[in-house]
A and B are shown apart, each in its own frame.
Chain A
Amino acid sequence: MTHAGSLTVEASGASTLVQDLGRPGLAHLGVPASGALDRGALALANRLVGNPDGAAALEIVAGGFRARFAAETWFAVTGAWGELRLDGRRAAPYAAARATPGSVLELAAPARGIRYLLAVRGGVDVPRVLGSRSRDTLSGLGPEPVRAGDVLPIGAPPEASVPLLDQEAAFPPPEGPVTLALLPGPRADWFADAAHRALFDGEWRMSEQADRIGARLLGETLARRVGGELASEATVPGSMQVAGDGRPTILLADRPVTGGYPVIAVVAAASLDAVAQMRPGQAVRFRHA
């Protein structure tokens, strides 16, 4: 197989992972779906360079990333909003740009959001595992985390040309408070009325404990009405489980396939990408979907 090019990573920042749309349909075998946390950003980055929505891209947490292109390559950076430089010159986020052989791309710490999605025309062409190129951080499936020195092959360019998009209807993640829509969870009735009021009326903050498995929130404790243990049951991305200490965690793409804490609510699909971009300390409010 011939590759149109490659990307040599010189600095990988806090975390750089290959992600596509994941491997849904295998939870019954104990395999989480995984995949890009900000799926809208993945699709946008891919569209900007003419790739199919689900082509594999790099999910880069908090910047500090630098890589060199071996050949002429179209790329686009979406998701987190921050300063990007191509050979030292500012390049526009959320737009396709063309790297020439030897060009160096640098992503600084983002001003907004936390996860950049870097798509390259042709996609990151590492081998698939169980149908996906996504790194599953819980099970250790898929390509190893990207490290400095790695050379990532880039696939053959797709049929579609690089589209001449004017501004797509896409906005950078907000700086201020984020509002997330919630649907009732399977165990909503395990919680006291006061817990539901606290959830929807209270002030919440994203904690430092936020990764691809789940994002823990800071705020009031959510009191249970029903005591006792819950037999482990399957969850979905966005399930908000409440641990024994009354603190909620939003479960994300790499969560274990089953969990033993009751799920009070489920983040609506339309709000899930926003969770992926929340920074520690950022304010969040919940509304009914």
Chain B
Amino acid sequence: MSRRLLPSGEAALLVECDSLDEVLALHDALEAARRPGVVELVPAARTLLVSVDPERMPLESAATWIRRIPAEAGSRVAGAHAETVTIPVVYDGADLAATAASLHVSVEALVARHSGIEWRVAFVGFAPGFGYLVSDEWPFEVPRLDAPRARVPGGSVAVAGAFAGVYPRQSPGGWRLLGRTDAPLWDPAASEPALLAPGRRVRFERA
């Protein structure tokens, strides 16, 4: 696996990987071996931002740490997020039937697939607590809505591209809505404010 280290100011490095799988593996490995002075590990689709407190961990040390850490794509590192979160879903989303039709599968088959596989939170973006979930067992590529909705209710369970997600709060959005959940996705007062933090494993189940 290749890792390109790109500059990002005096206190961060942007690590570019060849695939999302490699990002996930590197994130797992760095998280498991996290060192004092590491302020933030922020995964995205092809990159991982490692930000540091340069007084505690100079950028050169961070670069060496990142280059040398062993990480195998697809490996599973035990850690804080090793346990699987189960999200109960009522599959009655406004786009459920149309999405199934566009993928040439029945509604039943789409729901069975969505709720039958293990997902993983690859990264969080768009809004606090909005996890982008991926799975090797999800074969679909779902186009976004042509025109995003001005208002998607919090708890909406949705898909777009190769990702699944759940809207943590009401917001605009262009993902296709399959259902809804009452699971507490985002609570700023909780010790772990986001249910879907990077690295976490997730299953959806029919409520």
Among A27-35, A105-113, A156-164, which stretch is in contact with chain B?
A27-35
Instruction: Give the residues in chain A near B125, CB-CB below 8 Å.
Output: 30, 232, 256-258
Q: Assess the B128–A232 pair: CB atoms within 8 A.
A: no
Instruction: Give the residues in chain B near A27, CB-CB below 8 Å.
Output: 40, 42, 49, 51
Q: Assess the A234–B39 pair: CB atoms within 8 A.
A: no
Q: Select which of B9, B124, B129, B197 is within 8 A of A236 by beta carbon.
A: B9
Instruction: Give the residues in chain A near B48, CB-CB below 8 Å.
Output: 234
Given A25-B39, A130-B188, A231-B44, residue A186 in contact with residue B127 (CB < 8 A): no
Instruction: Give the residues in chain B near A130, CB-CB below 8 Å.
Output: 188, 193
B77 to chain A, nearest CB (A): 16
B158 to chain A, nearest CB (A): 16
B38 to chain A, nearest CB (A): 9
Instruction: Give the residues in chain A near B41, CB-CB below 8 Å.
Output: 28
Q: In the complex, A269→B9 CA distance in Å? A: 8
Q: In the complex, A29→B11 CA distance in Å? A: 19
Q: Within 8 Å of chain B (Cβ to Cβ): is A218?
A: no
Q: Within 8 Å of chain B (Cβ to Cβ): is A87?
A: no
- Nearest residue (CB) in A for B12 is A236
Tell me the A244-287 residues at the B interface (CB within 8 Å): 256-258, 263, 266-269
Q: Within 8 Å of chain B (Cβ to Cβ): is A233?
A: yes
- Nearest residue (CB) in B for A186 is B6
Query: What per-residue 1/0 map shows which CB atoms of B1-41 lie under 8 Å from chain A?
Result: 00000111111101010000000000000000000000111
Q: In the complex, A237→B203 CA distance in Å? A: 35
Q: Within 8 Å of chain A (Cβ to Cβ): is B149?
A: no
Q: Assess the A30–B130 pair: CB atoms within 8 A.
A: yes
Q: Assess the A141–B11 pair: CB atoms within 8 A.
A: no
Q: Assess the A141–B188 pair: CB atoms within 8 A.
A: yes
Q: How many residues belonging to A are interface residues under a CB distance threshold of 8 Å? A: 34
Q: In the complex, A267→B7 CA distance in Å? A: 12
Q: Chain B interface: which size bin?
A: 35 or more
Q: Assess the B47–A141 pair: CB atoms within 8 A.
A: no
Query: What per-residue 1/0 map shows which CB atoms of A8-37 lie under 8 Å from chain B?
Result: 000000000000000011111111000000
Q: Assess the A231–B45 pair: CB atoms within 8 A.
A: yes
Q: Within 8 Å of chain A (Cβ to Cβ): is B46?
A: yes
Instruction: Give the residues in chain A near B6, CB-CB below 8 Å.
Output: 186-187
Instruction: Give the residues in chain A near B12, CB-CB below 8 Å.
Output: 236
Q: Within 8 Å of chain B (Cβ to Cβ): is A198?
A: no
Given A25-B39, A233-B47, A236-B49, residue A183 in contact with residue B7 (CB < 8 A): yes
The 10 closest A-B pairs by CB, nearest first: A234-B49, A186-B6, A234-B42, A266-B9, A231-B45, A30-B124, A233-B47, A29-B194, A186-B14, A30-B128
Give chain A's interface residues, CB within 8 Å of chain B: 24-31, 129-130, 139, 141, 183-188, 231-236, 238-239, 256-258, 263, 266-269
Q: A29-B197, A129-B189, A236-B49 are in contact. List 15 more A-B contacts (CB 8 A).
A: A24-B39, A28-B40, A28-B43, A30-B129, A130-B193, A231-B45, A231-B47, A232-B125, A233-B14, A234-B43, A257-B124, A258-B125, A266-B7, A266-B8, A267-B9
Q: List 25 A-B contacts (CB under 8 A).
A: A25-B40, A27-B51, A29-B124, A30-B194, A31-B193, A129-B189, A139-B127, A183-B7, A183-B9, A186-B7, A186-B16, A187-B6, A231-B44, A231-B45, A231-B46, A232-B125, A233-B49, A234-B14, A234-B42, A234-B47, A236-B8, A236-B9, A236-B12, A256-B126, A269-B11
